[in-house]
Structure 1
Amino acid sequence: MKPVLIVQNDPKEGAGQLTTLLSARGLKQERVFGYDTDYDRVGSAGYAALVVLGGAQSAYETETYPYLAREMALCQDFMQAGKPIAGFCLGAQILARTLGGEVVPGAKKEIGWYDLTLTEDGAGDALLTGHPKTLLAYHFHGDRIENVPGATNLASSVMTPCQLFRYGSNVYGFQYHAEVDEPLVELMCRNNADYMAANGFDAETIIGESRRHLPIFAGACKQILDRWIDLIPGQAP
């Protein structure tokens, strides 16, 4: 079976529990760095699915980070091939822009633990069956997604109207960090401690909060991610 392509936009921050779940299924993974890869080599023909991860870049900063436009083209390639895609944080914003949506700066940074609330469409989504109507979720972003043509908004928070969207039946954009496990949360916070402090957040405080909140959150996200993995064709029964 072809591997899952994982595009990492931060040199240190990987796919957390999603990597663990893919490995448990026996699915091969190929990780590339969005800012340093041969996009002529990593087309959809060679892979079963695509994952695009987060980073400090903004999806609208294509002049500063020209490779973001190549990531959007890659997403378009996988969508045209009908292959599953999951984007997380920046990855979701890249998906949104690929589809003609907007990504704009939020009024405030949403970093740490905030309630995630399913929309009516979210409550009926196949990946979200059994998901709590409201769940305390982990966030780390300053931009927000708006007006994605053809997409269905599945979840929101008080600060961010679009926290999760679906396009078609197998393309999902997670503004919140459904992929995290405890090591990834700790790495994310310590990797960005100065940025967090400059915006009024303390990395160690959020790490402490995460140790309390993560088990329930990660358990709910495991179900979502497992169901997304189910969408990848060619797996052994």
Structure 2
Amino acid sequence: MRVLVVQNFDNEGLGQIGAALAEAGADIDLRKPYDGEALPRDSSGHDAIVLLGGAQNALDDEKCPYFPGLLDLTRDFADKDRSVLGICLGSQLLARAYGGKNQIGGATEFGWHKVSLTPDAKSDPVLGALPESFPIFEWHDDTFGLPENAVRLAGSVVAENQAFRLGRAAYGFQFHFEVDSPMARDWSTCFASLIAERHPHWAGKLDDEIARNGPDADAAGLAIARAWVATI
């Protein structure tokens, strides 16, 4: 199993997805196109693709001139029934790739927030075993409309579209299910100045937030990661 991982921003790691891929014995091919690394021409050398998050918006082709090629590559994976996973920015790019309308701004969520599954999620192979609602880590300002033929799987008060599926195994997740409690602590350190500008009380309440939400969020995130890996 060879999985292409597209990183779009420094310190945006795989987290619990990496743990699930390691359990499955996957060979990870990490590319950083924002840092000048080339992307494959097509999906032929990989069984799946993961599109990680980033501070960019999904329409930012000027700052990220690799975006159009990444959209083509993503469609190639999905159209050939290879598993696709987009997280946060990655989900917004997946939506864009199939005609979903990107909304820039107006949907800010940060920290652990509750998401609720839709009725369609009950029969979904990735989300079907999860509780109807659970806390999960969020960090975004943008959102998106669903592409045609997408199955809406989860939403929240702020962002109606928190998870969707296209075809058999192309999944977009607005929320960061890969972020477990240790990774949340790491991000709180790595991005401390950025967080402090917009959420000045975060550092002081991090321990309480982890104690209240961490166990349920970590369990949900790992379950999602393992179930997606099982689609490859």
**What amino acid does structure 1 have at the position aligned with 2:139?**
F
Question: What corresponds to 1:227 in structure 2?
Answer: 227
Structure 2 contact 74–94 (Cα < 8 Å) conserved = yes
Shift of 1:140: 0.5
Question: What corresponds to 2:153 in structure 1?
Answer: 154
Identity of aligned residues (%): 34
Structure 2 contact 50–85 (Cα < 8 Å) conserved = yes
TM-score by length of 1: 0.90
Instruction: Give deviations 1:69-97, integer Å, cap 9, x for gaps.
Output: 22212101211221000111011011010
> Aligned partners of 1:125, 1:215: CA distance in 2, in Å?
23
Shift of 1:42: 5.2
The RMSD of aligned alpha carbons is 1.7
Describe how 1:164-203 pairs up with structure 2 within 5 A: 164-203=163-202
Question: What corresponds to 1:141 in structure 2?
Answer: 140
> Aligned partners of 1:207, 1:31: CA distance in 2, in Å?
30
Structure 2 contact 180–221 (Cα < 8 Å) conserved = no
Question: What corresponds to 2:217 in structure 1?
Answer: 217
> Aligned partners of 1:31, 1:201: CA distance in 2, in Å?
33
Q: Does 1:99 align with 2:117?
A: no
- Cα pair distance change 1:42/1:186, threshold 3 Å: farther
Structure 1 contact 109–199 (Cα < 8 Å) conserved = no
Structure 2 unaligned residues grouped into runs of 5+: none
SS at structure 2 position matched to 1:126: coil
Q: Does 1:69 align with 2:58?
A: no
- Cα pair distance change 1:171/1:206, threshold 3 Å: farther
Shift of 1:197: 2.5
Instruction: Give deviations 1:100-146, integer Å, cap 9, x for gaps.
Output: 10111242520011110111112232211221111111100000111
Q: Does 1:90 align with 2:84?
A: no
Runs of 4+ displaced beyond 3 Å: 200-203
Moved more, 188-197 or 123-132: 188-197
Instruction: Give deviations 1:183-233, integer Å, cap 9, x for gaps.
Output: 32123233333332332354424632135422211212222221211111x
Instruction: Give deviations 1:154-204, integer Å, cap 9, x for gaps.
Output: 100000000000001100000001111233212323333333233235442
Structure 1 unaligned residues grouped into runs of 5+: 233-237
